[in-house]
Structure 1
Amino acid sequence: MKKALFVRGGRPAHQPIETTEHFRPFLESEGFEISVSDSPKIYSDAVFMASVDLIIQCIESEIDESSVHGLTHAVANGTGFIGWHGGVLVGFTQSESYYQLIGAKFVAHPGKPEEMRTGGEDDFFIRHTIDFTEAGKVDEITKGFQNFELTTEQYWLLTDSYMKVLATTTQSSTSGNPWKSPVISPAIWTRQWGEGRIFICSPGHNLEVVSHPIITQIIRNGAIWASRSR
């Protein structure tokens, strides 16, 4: 039996328990035995991590260097790593090694014009398109899907070039924005790190977004692709 690890916690609005549990039935049907941790300290347990085939991370917290080293070592040795939204792109703010591992870091989610904001979380929920790249149109994770729209946070990311971008999203420039031309950020990508595979999906603010049929299926596909092959 394969082993999957849910590492989850942090900001309640991101529903880390609900979103990870959304994938439990699928993973169990694919033959995974699932363990759960509410702390990234589990990554420092080298013996346990060597037995894990797939990490599903949805946590916003800090991380100590021993745990970062354990995570990067496990992935480099073949453990798959996947996650979405703030659960992978917001936490661990002091760790350069972690962000080198995943290749991108959240910096903003520009929202509605100031005059339309009410002070609630949905001030940053805007309608935007997820555009599949040419690579994404033929990749096994995203092949067959058409561009689609979401109303949720749209992540502006700082990234490197060592990734296979399967889909992007474009931050438009409108009156009042300090940036004067559109900004394209990766929305879905994969990455090879040593023997391990990494899959990241920036959409996934809460269960409603993760439950979108296309997002759900792409994350399922990403989990199978990333999982260690024994």
Structure 2
Amino acid sequence: MGERRRALVVRGGWEGHEPVQTTDSVIPFLERNDFDVRVEEGTSVYADEETMRATDLIVQVNTMNTIADAELAGLVGAVVRGTGMAGWHGGIADSYRNSADYLQMIGGQFAHHAAVPAAERLGEQSDNYLDFRVSIVPEQRTHPIVEGLDDFDLHTEQYWVLSDAYNDLLATTQIVHRDFDAWHNSFTAPVVWTRLWGTGRIFVCTAGHKLNVLEEPSVRTIVERGLLWASR
């Protein structure tokens, strides 16, 4: 057996994303893959330099919250030194809206998810659940995170993400235009990407609104592979 690595799970924020349930579901996978796992219910640990230097992988599911300057500096510093960072949905792509530096490091920010027609809305989360396809980027089909996977369909929130060309894009989705939408044409949005920051690796999957989405076989495979890929 090889030397065990250290994973830090940082979770919190909006409970609708089930931060405890979703992170609990990946901890056994990490432990089977030789990680010792520490769980923190907030971001103060990011300011603990000793802990961050010893961490090989950060798994973050912390939607919308704010982050203190010292915590952000500790997080960015750890990634630059080689700590991997990984997460899904709003827990990584809609965290710390007060921080441009965080957005720059992660490479994508949630902006919107389309809703069903107004007459069908019930005032519940399901108002934003649509049927859509996730397409593996053809030239990335041999990447270890998506290798052997086919395009797949989901019924959940479809994230409209603001991103940049520095990302290594692995999977996308087509956001369609409907007669009642304010935008004028359909376009492609990122679903899965990686990003290199300093000597660290970043993995993001925008699917994973709740545990049931994370348990979709293709999503689960992508997330588990992404965790391993990102780790130091």
Please state which band the TM-score falls in when normalised by the shorter chain.
over 0.9
Q: Does 1:139 align with 2:143?
A: yes
Query: Structure 1 residue 189 and structure 2 residue 193: aligned?
Result: yes
Match of 1:51 in 2: 54
Alignment of 1:68-217 (within 5 A): 68-217=72-221
In the alignment, is residue 36 of structure 1 matched against residue 39 of structure 2?
A: yes
Aligned to 1:22: 25
C-alpha distance after superposition, 1:162-205 (max 9, x if no partner): 11000001110011111111121100000111110000000000
TM-score, L = length of structure 2 = 0.96
CA distance in 2, matches of 1:2, 1:50: 12
Cα separation, 2, equivalents of 1:86 and 1:120 = 17
Question: How many residues were matched structurally?
Answer: 228
For 2:136 and 2:40, the matched residues in 1 are separated by 33
Cα deviation code 1:141-166 (max 9, x no counterpart): 10110100100000001111111000
CA distance in 2, matches of 1:213, 1:22: 13
Q: Is the 8 Å Cα contact of residues 135 and 165 (structure 1) preserved in structure 2?
A: no
Please say if residues 57 and 87 of structure 1, whose CA atoms lie closer than 8 Å, have aligned partners that are also in contact. yes
Q: How far apart in 2 are the matches of 1:76 and 1:135? A: 28
RMSD over aligned Cα atoms: 0.8
SS at 1:81 equivalent: strand
Q: What's the offset of the Cα at 1:21?
A: 0.9
8 Å Cα contact 1:171-1:183 kept in structure 2: yes
CA contact (8 A) 1:190 1:199 kept: yes
Contact in 2 for aligned 1:167/1:186 (Cα 8 Å): yes
| CA drift at 1:2 | 0.5
Q: Which amino acid aligns with 1:25?
A: P
3-state SS in 2 of match to 1:22: helix
Give structure 1 stretches of 5+ with no counterpart: none
Q: TM-score, normalised by structure 1?
A: 0.97
Quote the offset at 1:25 in angstroms: 1.1
Q: What code does the residue aligned with 2:211 have? A: L
Partner of 2:116: helix, strand, or coil? coil
Report the residue type matching 2:189 in the other structure.
Answer: S
2-structure distance, mates of 1:54, 1:204? 19
CA distance in 1 between counterparts of 2:140 and 2:106 reads 18
CA–CA distance in structure 2, aligned partners of residues 83 and 107 of structure 1: 17
**1: distance between equivalents of 2:21 and 2:114?**
26
Aligned sequence identity (%): 38
Give the match's secondary structure for 1:192: strand
Distance in 2 between residues matched to 1:125 and 1:115, nearest whole Å: 14
Alignment of 1:8 with 2:24, yes or no, is no
Letter in 2 for 1:95: S
Give the Cα–Cα distance (whole angstroms) in 2 for the partners of residues 84 and 135 of structure 1: 23
SS at 1:92 equivalent: coil
